[in-house]
Chains A and B, each alone.
Chain A
Amino acid sequence: MTKKHISFQLNGRPVDALVEPRELLVHVIREQLGLTGTHIGCETSHCGACTIDLNGDSVKACTVLAMQADGGDVMTVEGLADNGALHPLQEAFMQEHGLQCGFCTPGMLIRAYRFLKKNPNPSDEEIRTGMSGNLCRCTGYQNIIKAVKAAAEKMQSA
């Protein structure tokens, strides 16, 4: 299959890749570009483990073609911390015990990141709805909600 050349911003840095038109973005990020923080849990856009930020929206990278990212701006969990300083969401997940096995965590964090940009001061109910595209089998969500709230408060007061 002929490969196409794509370029996009990944966590603030330009990257290039040669991809087959059918290749999924999640595979290109994980396997070609070597960032394995973005996980695969279902490949059918149900679980959200593969959530990334693409051009200012949360998207599930398992159902996006790599070609669709051409020229775009992508952020993954690896781009959350700023020069080694953890993002308030990362801090809050740790403080509030918002993770167990950690498999859903990158997707949760990157979804919460976009969610809080759109709704900086959410209620519990709004967090439940806003995050409902991301599944977790371990935590029962309660501490994730706490973590998102705590991060929101911290970001507001900053």
Chain B
Amino acid sequence: MSTSTEKLEREEKLEGIGCSRKRKEDPRFIQGKGNYVDDVKLPGTLFADIVRSPYAHARIKSINKDKALAVPGVHAVLTAADLKPLNLHWMPTLAGDVQAVLADEKVHFQYQEVAVVIADNRYIAADAVDLVEVEYEALPVLVDPHKAMDADAPILREDIKEKADDGKGAHKHPNHIFTWEVGDDEATTQAFNAADVVVTEKMYYPRVHPSPLETCGCVASFDKVKSHLTLYITSQAPHIVRTVVSLLSGIPESKVRVISPDIGGGFGNKVGVYPGYVTAIVASIVLGRPVKWIEDRMEHLSTTAWARDYHMTGALAADKEGRIKALRVNVLADHGAFNSHAQPTKWPAGLFSICTGSYDIPVAHAKVEGVYTNKAPGGVAYRCSFRVTEAVYVIERMMDILAQKLGIDKAEIRRRNFVKPEQFPYHTALGWELDSGDYPKALQKVLEAVDYDGLRREQQEKRARGELMGIGLVTFTEIVGAGPSKACDILGVGMFESAEIRVHPTGSVVARMGTLSTGQGHQTTYAQIIATELGLPSEDIQIEEGDTDTAPYGLGTYGSRSTPVGGAATAMAARKIRDKAARIAAHLLEVSADDLDWEVDRFKVKGVPGQEKTMKEVAWAAYNNVPDGMEMGLEATNYYDPPNFTYPFGAYLCVIDIDKCTGEAKVRRFYALDDCGTRINPMIIEGQIHGGLTEGFAVAMGQQMPFDEQGNLLGNTFMDYFIPTFVETPFWETDYTVTPSPHHPLGAKGVAESPHVGSIPCFTSAIVDAFSHLGVTHMDMPHNAYRVWRKIHELGLDKHE
């Protein structure tokens, strides 16, 4: 056997980076042994249920709890008046606003939390909720964000209307939250004035809901004797929750233990702190018993954080060849009744300024204006990195529209404007430094894989026959891995990530991270990183997350930050261990550490075959035979503050056939090529991509949260809110290129959100493409059969000759 075969075999045994290792978390899930929040059963647990407002905007005239309190088994009914003495009737939001925990004198959106009932079980609690009598006086409702700043618009937030400036700039109107601008306005205007061609389009990105399969919930358990609070909670960010809970309750962080157990999906919905959590905590403190609150699906869709709701206007200026000279984007953002979007605190529109996309655009300007309306608060990153989905949507739509205007193919217009491989690191007009990319290669690979020219020919023939076929194309760039702490913080805490690794004498490892898996398989992939870095088998590496008592502080999992930031922290901590191990090995081999080479799982003395120590041997020595002056043990911690974001990218293509009679759009083919840099576990990456594409499909083709003019939410059950089943979901084809990130210790970029971000404009691109020969430039989502049929009808295509 040659040495290299032997080496490869050793490497394979580790199941390290690049291996499609089966998941460590699966055995418990497939046997029904997961531990989700509703599975947590503490002795003496009471149940909380919430009384919610039927009105979108109303004054509360009175609340009568008597009948509810008379129900046997009811322990308490709490309202804002009860929380006031504790100063817990309002809570801070991640965006620097405040939100009512229980409605204080007034309700601001339908289904707002008005009172909470605590009872022996869920049935009694639900009975009592019906018996709480609330008298309302209806107020004029503000639904349309375009009217939010009208002189006669109803003022929503009486609690803050006196505040002319809350540090986010002057308020133009009491319903105005912020105006955020970036880029060079004047230069952009000049470029537009001088341009050969200008295209402008208005587009609405509907309000949608992440809707993981498990709703939100918690179990709060306050131990009066020890003044200690344990909180089991569906949170993607348990450490931040602990900080918020501590700030709110005055209980020191050392006496608050937050445990995120298994989480049934998050997708951005489980980042913030919700009133249900706070009321469960208060009730547990007041009653001295564990209190469980689990929302139902309707409550989930109606009140916990939704995403998007951006009214966007995009404009591109270009020359006759389609080379872009400038980009301008204006956005009106509907934030609902409280500004509780989850973005890094300094970024009221998140990372929206990535809207220059994959293109070399000399000047740009973007402006986002946020307003209050009588709708639930939110604006979270639904499987995306802080408003990146909206940004990618607007630029990709505008690229298509520019192509159409100039009669240039949409692949060609992209090629002409790409940031070229040799231009990296590339500084965008709106301030980002794109780390690495090879956009032309990705695009070319996709076009060849699907025979793009053949598809265009087929489309020509179909058009001649009067059939509707659309080809969608997108070449997106994301910005993920928030983020450098100088740019990003949440409530003042920098957005670093952490890892703590311990190697035991026998070479087995326990590692803890500040992130939290909500299905991404961290227990599997972090172990692979450590396996490669330390040369110890994945199988012997135990990963733990989600318990603030044991895990180091971390900002959590969202915005594809686990691999870019948490993965980097893991690699760096492992490298510290390897450095120490090298010194121990040198000591054992009686050479200097410089004389050693690292090979897969061992240190070898350069040029002396057979003189070597495996990491396992070194681990043992670390506990009994270290060089003079060295501390015993083999462990390390790293808090990783990334130098930059990472910029995954991809090229997606979609073929859609539309039935002219029904408007039904069938996805015939979807080809997704992703480049997320170094690939840690290809099987998991592919799974993440399938899931992201399916969620993208859901958003593009059917999801929306419509309101009537009274602010009634018209779609808040799984009957109305579109979740694709096995039947609607298309078959996905995936592909990849690898362009490592130069600044990430492993070259990895993060992937789980790309397919969501990238696929949504691709579906729209395909739908519009089916009608583009008829002069259609844009159609708003969702592209459900009825809305597509309306376009068909409007164009007279359903008339029989």
Contacts and interface: CB of A to CB of B under 8 A. Distances in A.
Interface of A: 20, 22-23, 27, 30-31, 34-44, 46-47, 49, 76-78, 80-81, 86, 90, 93-95, 97, 99-106, 109, 127-129, 131-145
A94 B521 contact: no
B50 to A, nearest CB: 15
A135 B717 CA distance: 14
Name the residue among B214, B688, B693 with the largest chain A CB count within 10 angstroms. Answer: B214
A135 B265 CA distance: 13
B30 A139 contact: no
B493 to A, nearest CB: 26
Contacts of B39: 30, 36
Given A135-B213, A137-B211, A139-B690, 10 more contacts: A37-B31, A44-B297, A93-B30, A99-B29, A100-B688, A129-B727, A137-B212, A137-B691, A138-B691, A142-B690
B644 interface: no
B211 A35 contact: no
A105 B723 contact: no
Interface stretch (B20-28, B174-182, B347-355, B528-536): B20-28
B213 A104 contact: yes
B695 interface: yes
B293 interface: no
A21 to B, nearest CB: 11
B239 to A, nearest CB: 20
Contact of A41 (B215, B263, B691): B215
A86 B725 contact: no
Contact of B723 (A109, A137, A144): A137
B726 A132 contact: yes
Contacts of B213: 39, 41, 47, 49, 101, 103-104, 135-138
Cβ-closest 3 pairs across A and B: A37-B32, A102-B29, A103-B264
Interface string B604-646: 0000000000000000000000000000000000000000000
B33 interface: yes
B264 A37 contact: no
Interface in B247-292: 262-265, 267
A15 to B, nearest CB: 16
5 contacts: A31-B41, A47-B213, A100-B521, A129-B727, A142-B732
Interface residues of B, number: 56
Max chain B C-beta neighbours (<10 A), residue from A30, A78, A102, A103: A102
B726 A99 contact: no
Contact of A44 (B28, B35, B691, B718): B718
Nearest to B697: A140
B426 interface: no
A143 B519 contact: no
Contacts of B38: 30, 36, 39-40
Interface in B682-699: 683-684, 686-688, 690-695
A42 B264 contact: no
Contact of A20 (B32, B34, B123): B123
A137 B265 contact: yes
Contacts of B35: 36
Nearest to A38: B32
Contact of A101 (B211, B264, B694, B718): B264
A37 B33 contact: yes
Interface of A is mostly: loop
Most buried by B among A42, A80, A109, A145: A42
Contacts of A109: 30
B729 A106 contact: no
B36 interface: yes
A43 B214 CA distance: 11
A127 B226 CA distance: 54
Given A101-B265, A135-B213, A135-B718, A140 B694 contact: yes
A106 to B, nearest CB: 5
A43 B123 CA distance: 13
Contacts of B41: 31, 34, 36
Contacts of B215: 41
A102 B518 CA distance: 9
A37 B34 CA distance: 7
Contacts of B688: 100
B416 to A, nearest CB: 33
A137 B695 contact: yes
Contacts of A128: 726-727
B270 to A, nearest CB: 11
Contacts of A35: 32
A42 B694 contact: no
Contacts of B729: 140-142
A133 B694 CA distance: 17
Nearest to B729: A141
A115 B154 CA distance: 55
A132 to B, nearest CB: 4
B212 A140 contact: no
Nearest to A35: B32
B691 A139 contact: yes
A100 B691 contact: yes
B8 interface: no
Nearest to B723: A135
B296 to A, nearest CB: 6
A131 B724 CA distance: 12
Given A35-B32, A36-B39, A94 B27 contact: yes
B718 A46 contact: yes
Interface string B724-742: 0111010110000000000
B381 to A, nearest CB: 16
B690 A46 contact: no
Contacts of A36: 32, 35-36, 38-39, 41
